[in-house]
Amino acid sequence: MKAILTVIGHDHVGIVAKVSTKLAELNVNIIDISQTLMHENFTMMMMVTLDNSTQFDTVQKELASLGQETGLDIRIQRQEIFDAIQKL
Which fold is adopted by the domain 2-86? Alpha-Beta Plaits (3.30.70)
End-to-end CA distance of the chain: 21
Summarised one tens digit per residue, pLDDT across range 19-67 is 999 999 999 999 999 999 999 999 999 999 998 888 999 999 999 999 9
Nearest to 21 by CA among 62, 82, 72: 62
Q: What is the DSSP string of 37-65?
A: EETTEEEEEEEEEE-TTS-HHHHHHHHHH
Domain boundaries, the chain: 2-86
The string of pLDDT tens digits covering residues 54-70 is: 899 999 999 999 999 99
